[in-house]
Amino acid sequence: MKGKKLLFIIMACLTLVLAACGGKGEGDANKKEGSSKEPDVSRGNELVIAVSSDPQNWDPIDTFLLDWSTVATSIFEGLVNRTTDLEVGPGLAESWEYTDDKTLVFQLRQNVTFQNGEPFNAEAVKFTFDRLLGEEGQAGPQYANYESIDKVEITGDNEVTFYLKEVDPVLLTKLAGYGASIVPPKYIAEKGDEHFNNNPVGTGPYKMTEYKRDQQAVLERYEAYWNAGAYKVDKVTFKVIPEASTRLAELQSGSVDIMKRVEVAQVDTIKAQDYLELLEVGTPTAYAIRFDTAKAPVDDKRVRQAINYAIDKESIIETILGGYGKQISSFQSEYSFGYNKDLDPYPYDPEKAKALLAEAKVPADTTLEFYLPGNDGNFKEIAQVVSHYLEEVGLKVEIKTADSTTMNSDLIPKGEVGHMYRNGWGGWTLDFDNTAYLMYHEGEFWNPSYKNEKVEKLLSEQRQSTDNAKREAIFKELTEVLYEDAPEVNLYSVVDLYAINKRVEGFVPPHDDRMNFAGVSVK
């Protein structure tokens, strides 16, 4: 069904999506060119950034959302830092050394303070990891990344030592991540965890001075920051605007300087404005349609394989994403260590899909529930096309939407997102260990149902070695096992699109959503 029929199906789906948007929906807003005259912006040395959602909680141990990192990277720091080039380097630690495979010693940066004036020191590091590894941390989604740490001890005036239970080949990268952000002991002891959730304090270059949930977060430059000279912008406001059409309208009017999550349908409008610039960047983020393997009929791998064969991923990328995406064979991008370049994605083969469904004795017109976030315009279009592809092989699809935060924090962990759902993953460690362990290891926060003994064995084996050649071989086998078992339909890795007002200078779009304002200025 390649060629004209395929194009007809996709265009028909796009027409349905645009029609469903109605009078003031995405379709009309994206067609609106607006004035090509540059708007008068008089905010001075400030930036306003439009983001799509609010993480609801600023405590580093309570979140795993990319939208958290977009803002909180400027508030918090870890012992190590990852640059916009995805290189790991010094952060709150100036240097480190493995004295053996299970002992890691850090020399800490001196004369650093938290944004409330509290000193950063070895006690703060120990407090952070005691908290992360203790009862409170174990109740959150970050704990699983740091289970290899047995304890953290103060071993000098400006020195801490990590003692590991087991070898952890990805520990340094993870220490640049969310859960390992260093937090202030006295502030948390005095104010309590609930207060900290909404009033974060870290050692970063910007401090949060205002937070209105689901509306905005305001950051102001922390004058006593240890590297303050690298930051020129005085104030950064993140406005939460779920609808892409509204984000674009705010950018066009000059109310917003940087727009995150530009949708493909908006590209031409942005390019038509002389005062705007479109930026694109490859990312480790992957998107898939994940199955709840506890629910029939997708508890049968033949059905999951059939759905993989039924969907033409290449055409979705070219037609809906405008080419801003890359096919993947496993739930990771090419930026991830462990990506199997020799494993080809499932080909588009609807006849093979029909044969597998018949073999699995799936009744004709079986209905599958398909959940996705209501504010993801691109995926709404993808869901409509997927629905048509599956109808072509005898399955019906009921598309349902939910709030993005509710899906990630509540519905997915509880297994309440139907037979299948949109699954996006940032791949922030740039190593398949993090993705694979949290997606496929039995009992993990975002894995309410999937289990496979072979997968469990391979996950364990790769964590017991620091030999990257050995780990790469294990990941090769793991991706092949997952390919056969098909716990999801792997769709594409993301090319992110940002739009900026040209008054902004020096902004580098991040590969991993973590905005860095060092060297950024405004005219």
- How is 371-419 classified by DSSP, letter by letter? EEETT-HHHHHHHHHHHHHHHHTTEEEEEEEE-HHHIIIIITTTT-SBS
Residues 6 or more apart whose CB falls under 8 angstroms from that of 133 comprise: 143, 146, 149, 151
What's the pLDDT at 29?
41
Angle between helix 432-440 and 453-462 (nearest 10):
150
Token pair, residue 232, equals 């020129």
Mean pLDDT calculated for residue range 351-358? 98
Mean pLDDT of the chain: 92
pLDDT at 172 over 70: yes
Instruction: Write out the DSSP string of 11-48.
Output: HHHHHHHHHHH-TTSHHHHHH----SSPP-----SEEE
Token pair, residue 174, equals 């993870």
What's the pLDDT at 42?
83
Beta-carbon-side half-sphere exposure of residue 189 (alpha carbons within 13 Å): 7
pLDDT at 14 over 50: no
Q: Indicate where the chain has its CATH 3.90.76.10 domain(s).
A: 77-185
Q: Indicate where the chain has its CATH 3.10.105.10 domain(s).
A: 4-14+282-495
Least confident of 50-59, 79-88, 115-124, 410-419: 79-88
Helix H, strand E, coil C: the string for 240-266 is ECCCHHHHHHHHHHCCCCEECCCCHHH
Mean pLDDT calculated for residue range 401-418? 94
What's the pLDDT at 31?
41
> What is the CATH code of the structural domain delimited by 77-185?
3.90.76.10
Strands 159-164 and 103-108: what pairing?
Answer: antiparallel
Least confident of 29-33, 73-77, 107-111, 151-155: 29-33
pLDDT at 23 over 60: no
The pTM (predicted TM-score) of the whole model is: 0.76
Instruction: Write out the DSSP string of 281-332.
Output: EEEEEEEEEEE-TTSTTTTSHHHHHHHHHH--HHHHHHHTSTT-EEE-SSSS
What's the pLDDT at 8?
52
CA angle, residues 251, 86, 55, in degrees to nearest 5: 50
Token pair, residue 172, equals 């340094």
- Provide the CATH topology of domain 4-14+282-495: Dipeptide-binding Protein; domain 3 (3.10.105)
Q: Using CA atoms, how far apart are residues 177 and 170, in angstroms rounded to an integer?
A: 11
Mean pLDDT calculated for residue range 329-358? 96
Beta-carbon-side half-sphere exposure of residue 113 (alpha carbons within 13 Å): 10
Radius of gyration of the chain (CA): 23
pLDDT at 21 over 60: no
pLDDT at 89 over 60: yes
